[in-house]
Chains A and B, each alone.
Chain A
Amino acid sequence: MHELALSQQVARLVTRAAAGRRVAAVHVEVGHLRQVVPEALEHAWTATVNRTPLAAARLVVTPVPAVVRCADCHAETVLAGVPRFDCGACGSPATRVVRGEEFRLTAIDVDDDPATAGG
């Protein structure tokens, strides 16, 4: 499903960035507006990297809250619970999402010593 496609995409990026080094951890940021279910992503990641050079890499997810900025009063509102995208300060519907749509690979932790590579 969704998370499987996403974790395969993460694995491709990590494989390229690691350039053969052993990866211990993979750090991703997931915005609140990304409809990613953490448990499903966990299973998907495990399935994706199983029996691959990334099998030892654990996935570390940092959630990013969703924030909208108002075009009228410039206030920023954190979205919580039921999604309301209008401005929390003045009620204007003219808002833009400024955070919460991230789905980024932020960093990987690698072991540089080639003697330990390859598991």
Chain B
Amino acid sequence: MGRFHRHDDHDHGDHPGHDHGDHSGYATGRRRIEILEDIFAENDHLAAHNRAAFDAAGVRAINLMSSPGAGKTTLLQRTLAALQGRLRVGVVEGDIETDLDAERLAGLGAQVALLNTGAGFGGECHLDAPMVARALADLDLTTLDLVLIENVGNLVCPAEFDVGEHRRAMVFSITEGEDKPLKYPVMFRAVEAVAVNKIDLAPYLDFDRALFLRNLRQVNPTVTVFELSARTGEGVAAWVDWVAGPDAAVGPADQGLGS
């Protein structure tokens, strides 16, 4: 505690020569240096570097985010299976829980670069541009059309870090509740598309679909919505078309939801 002060409950922040915190003889010669530097500048610089590497190889990159347990890895498996023979896909896998998951992904014809984000206490809460830059060393971009970056399961941190992707999407499970867009508006605003997963469970849940879509539109009026089940495969084709490229047909799942 103690070295953190907010302007709204202390008034001494603007008086550097009048420091209440530390009087150990350092008061002489103190001055303020204006900096005005974006704290994400270093990350954003590396993200631009990653994006340039994708562009140079003609690769499109998608940053895929979700909360834990939303079904991101299962949907990724479905997506890779559907894209086999259609696009050459690389995966930056930042959210692997077991080696078994990695093996399942590796069997689907994609190049997979594993990021060990689980090391240390609690692991990483997001991928940042330097991590993705390291992962790209394990992919041969010149042989790929598309890179899917599976971010760490978390609705807060990943939205803050540009990793060099061209498009952002998230997987939301209807088991998560209708209010999530209002609780995590930064994440829900950051994406172009939301895959609303586990619709096969709808008969067993009290999920209010209309309320969720209203909340989602409130924070992100232009987002594209795909309602699907990664388990049964229902609705996945339209999502796969979106993933495959901006020129692909908009799937029927998004029609009638308004924008």
A35 and B156: CB pair below 8 A?
yes
Given contacts A2-B126, A107-B33, 19 further A-B pairs with CB under 8 A are A1-B122, A2-B156, A5-B124, A10-B39, A12-B42, A27-B32, A34-B186, A38-B6, A46-B4, A57-B3, A61-B4, A83-B185, A84-B218, A85-B189, A103-B160, A106-B34, A108-B32, A110-B33, A116-B26
* A28 proximal to B (CB < 8 A): yes
Q: Across the two chains, which residue of chain A brings its CB closest to B220?
A: A85
Q: Is the interface of A mostly helix, strand, loop or mixed?
A: mixed
- Using an 8 Å CB-CB cutoff, how does the interface string of B152-193 with A read, 1 for contact, 0 for none? 000011011000000000000000000000101110010000
Residues of B within 8 A of A82 (CB): 182
B21 and A58: CB pair below 8 A?
yes
B3 and A2: CB pair below 8 A?
no
Residues of A within 8 A of B3 (CB): 42, 45-46, 57-59
Q: Please list 29 pairs of residues, one from A and one from B, whose beta carbons are closer than 8 Å in the complex, sorted by A's number.
A: A5-B124, A5-B157, A9-B39, A13-B37, A17-B33, A24-B16, A25-B13, A35-B156, A35-B159, A35-B160, A38-B4, A46-B3, A56-B24, A58-B4, A58-B5, A60-B5, A60-B6, A61-B5, A63-B6, A103-B38, A104-B37, A105-B39, A107-B32, A109-B16, A109-B30, A110-B31, A111-B30, A116-B28, A119-B26
Chain A CB within 10 Å, residue with most, of B1, B5, B28, B29: B29
Residues of B within 8 A of A38 (CB): 4, 6
- Using an 8 Å CB-CB cutoff, how does the interface string of A11-53 with B read, 1 for contact, 0 for none? 0110001000010110110000111001001100110000000
Q: Across the two chains, which residue of chain B brings its CB closest to A13?
A: B37
A residues whose Cβ falls under 8 Å from a Cβ of B = 1-2, 5-6, 9-10, 12-13, 17, 22, 24-25, 27-28, 33-35, 38, 41-42, 45-46, 56-63, 82-86, 93-94, 103-113, 116, 119
* B100 proximal to A (CB < 8 A): no
Q: How far is the CB of A98 from chain B (nearest CB, A)?
A: 14
In residues 1-18 of chain B, which contact A (Cβ within 8 Å)?
Answer: 1-8, 13, 16
- For B, the interface residue count at a CB cutoff of 8 angstroms equals 50
A116 and B42: CB pair below 8 A?
no
